[in-house]
Structure 1
Amino acid sequence: MQGGGVITLLSLYVDLALGLVLSFLLLSLLVSGLNEAFVRLLAIRSKFLWAYLRDTMDGSDKEGRSWLPASVREVFAVLPFTRDPRPRHSDQPAPPEAGELPAQETKGEDAMINLLYQRVREIDHPKQGRTSIANLPPGRFATAVMELAAAEDGGVEGLLAKLKAMGSPLHGHLKGVWESAQRDMERFRTGVETWFDGEMQRLSMLYRRYVKWVVAALGLVVTLVFTMDGLEYAKTLLRDNAFRASVTAVAESGPDAYGELKARCENANPVPCITDTLSQPALVKVFDHALVSLSIPEEGDPAVHWNGPTWWDRLTTLSHWPGYLMTYVALLFGAPFWWDVLRRLTGIRSRR
């Protein structure tokens, strides 16, 4: 009997862990999906790339402001809505020869960014009249630089002189690579590719640092909209598992184990009550507290219910807030973390 009790208790805890992990995984996937939808809708990745390229190749704008955001506030306020750093889309193929840089000793009006876009626009497609390029391969960037150098008198030396005269920040980077390559063209191309690859890795780290704030905000919204109380859900899981165990006990032991069923279905017909309870697991019932819920009856079409008053009462009940905090912290770990935990608990092997 002791062995059976230990196994039953262990099974309850395993079911509890799986239920919590699965619920956190589903909510984390929802947060990730919302984040990806905003990123695609507002073309955030593309704007980050071209803001960096403008700062690196042409420098700050006329007012001396950097195109790349310097704070989280600017990510929400500047990049998505104003000062779009992306060039205008063009459906024309790249010209056979790269254009020359301005000869005057002043900063050209976005000369470098426009020349670069001419060399890479064959891989572009429009998005609201702007370029949608969000990933520029280092090899493609290095080839574009070599083509720009070929268009100048004196090759790389001439390109560096023009960049210096224009006040382009790219001059210092390319000059360092040129000196390191000992003025060898092939080594210079490889050096530019390596340098740009490192810059893209740094930009990716900067992008992820900003995105985590977006994910944190979305996680809070999802937790409050669904009013997902992690502590209450754990208790519901344990009660649900105990009820299922009592159903099994009735089937195996007869009427002597009828106590739990009688308590649960005291004012209803036991058979429909048991059927309804077993067909609505805790994972389904926990989402009934959302601002909008969905019900699928046995007959008829699915129905959407507005739970505004009930949702507000639940949201303003302070006893639920420790559970909300637990859920919110869990969502900050992200969907990959909870998928890995679920995979370890269930033994699912990862395919690489």
Structure 2
Amino acid sequence: MLSVYVDLALGLVVAFLLLSLLVSGLNEAFVRVLSIRSKFLWAYLRDTLDGVGDKSPSWLPASVRGVLLALPFGRDPRPAHSDRPAPAKLGEMPETRTGDSMMNLLYERVREIDHAKRGRTSIADIPPERFAVAVMELAAMENGDITKFLENLRRIDSPLYGALKGVWDSAQGDLDRFRKGVETWFDGEMKRLSMLYKRYVKWVLAVLGVVVTLLFSMDGLEYAKTLLRDNAYRASVAAVAEAGPDAYNELKAQCTGGDPVPCVTEVLSEPALVKIMGQAMVSVSIPAEGEPSVQGNFPMWWDRVSTPSHWPGFLLTYVALLFGAPFWWDVFRRITGIKSRR
């Protein structure tokens, strides 16, 4: 009896794991195609280096709607790509804030790790060590005079001034301590930015979870019932094999075709997961002979989606997908005894 519940749990976990991986894969595809991570980083850098004013509104949207719509499809905060290495001769500090002057100077110092993506930079992560070196290189424009460099940042009203001023005061004039302090500060900013990004991504995953659940019309309760029915059917087939001619006649009576062998073969070759996935809006059938075929199931799919009795099962599936693929992979490992390799 215990094996029945183990089979039920394992079947549900595998189904939720596969659908969660599909949700994560769709999210990753959108992120890569629209360059969301890179845009998120450079929107933050523009706000941090060049500031926000009346004529230069914030590049990093504050609302979820702005991040999901304005950032991917609105103005692109990324600088234009350059395949040339950082110039040996440093640029000059801007006399006034011009909207992207400091950001362009920073990009000059880090573009060795860049490659083009539709004419824009593809950099989505700047190591804290590289950012600290870039700051030191920018300070070299003032002959290494950090105090003068900070004064110029204050003059152009750059938000970077306040952060670097605090780091410089803590370093007490020590350049090595200042560089390490900049690394620590930027690493903390990147962690904060990652947490903010993950908060927005959760909304995307929630929307994709609804889409995947309805697209496959995955009723978790119906799937569990199908798993139990398949288990019971296999048990009856095994009992027939051991019980003799009388039980064979009972199984024969259950099969409409008369001959139970094709009936048993068809049922056992179509597990519960295949049955449920076959009720999606579009399904793929693989016959015993011939090529696989793709067919639309819109009338049957719409009938399932519009039937209130399926909604509790859809809700169960949707809530399960919100836990994410890592959670279900961990549950799968615990059930099967697979040990993780660190």
TM bucket normalised to smaller: over 0.9
Count of residue pairs brought into register by the alignment: 342
Partner of 2:130: 140
The letter of the residue matching 1:220 is V
* Cα deviation 1:323-352 (Å, max 9, x = unaligned): 000000000000000000000000001011
Q: Write the distance in 2 (CA, Å) between the matches of 1:82 and 1:75.
A: 10
Partner of 2:319: 329
Q: Write the distance in 1 (CA, Å) between the matches of 2:153 and 2:301.
A: 61
Q: Does 1:19 align with 2:11?
A: yes
- The TM-score, its normalising length taken from structure 1, stands at 0.94
Shift of residue 63, structure 1, vs aligned partner: 3.4
- The TM-score, its normalising length taken from structure 2, stands at 0.97
Partner of 1:111: 101
Match 1:57 to one of 49, 65, 84: 49
The letter of the residue matching 2:309 is S
SS at match of 1:151: helix
The letter of the residue matching 1:351 is R
Q: Write the distance in 1 (CA, Å) between the matches of 2:139 and 2:291.
A: 66
Q: Write the distance in 1 (CA, Å) between the matches of 2:299 and 2:292.
A: 22
Q: In 1, are the aligned partners of 2:93 and 2:102 still within 8 Å (CA)? A: yes
Q: Does 1:243 align with 2:246?
A: no
Partner of 1:84: 76
Q: Write the distance in 2 (CA, Å) between the matches of 1:264 and 1:193.
A: 73
Q: Does 1:254 align with 2:244?
A: yes
Q: Write the distance in 2 (CA, Å) between the matches of 1:211 and 1:264.
A: 50
Q: In 2, are the aligned partners of 1:243 and 1:261 still within 8 Å (CA)? A: no
Q: Write the distance in 2 (CA, Å) between the matches of 1:149 and 1:319.
A: 67
Q: Do the aligned partners of residues 268 and 220 (structure 1) sit closer, same or farther apart at CA in structure 2, a change above 3 Å counting?
A: farther
Shift of residue 61, structure 1, vs aligned partner: 5.9
The letter of the residue matching 2:300 is T
Q: Write the distance in 1 (CA, Å) between the matches of 2:32 and 2:53.
A: 26
The letter of the residue matching 2:128 is P
Partner of 1:157: 147
Shift of residue 62, structure 1, vs aligned partner: 5.4
**Identity rate of aligned residues, in percent?**
71
Q: Which runs of 5+ in 1 are unaligned?
A: 1-8
Shift of residue 253, structure 1, vs aligned partner: 1.9
Q: Write the distance in 2 (CA, Å) between the matches of 1:263 and 1:38.
A: 53
Shift of residue 261, structure 1, vs aligned partner: 3.1
Q: Write the distance in 1 (CA, Å) between the matches of 2:15 and 2:42.
A: 38
The CA RMSD over aligned residues, in Å, is: 1.3
Partner of 1:4: none
Q: Does 1:187 align with 2:169?
A: no
Q: Write the distance in 2 (CA, Å) between the matches of 1:134 and 1:192.
A: 19
Q: Do the aligned partners of residues 324 and 52 (structure 1) sit closer, same or farther apart at CA in structure 2, a change above 3 Å counting?
A: same
Q: In 2, are the aligned partners of 1:69 and 1:79 still within 8 Å (CA)? A: yes
Q: Does 1:177 align with 2:160?
A: no
Q: In 1, are the aligned partners of 2:56 and 2:99 still within 8 Å (CA)? A: no
Q: Which runs of 5+ in 2 are unaligned?
A: none
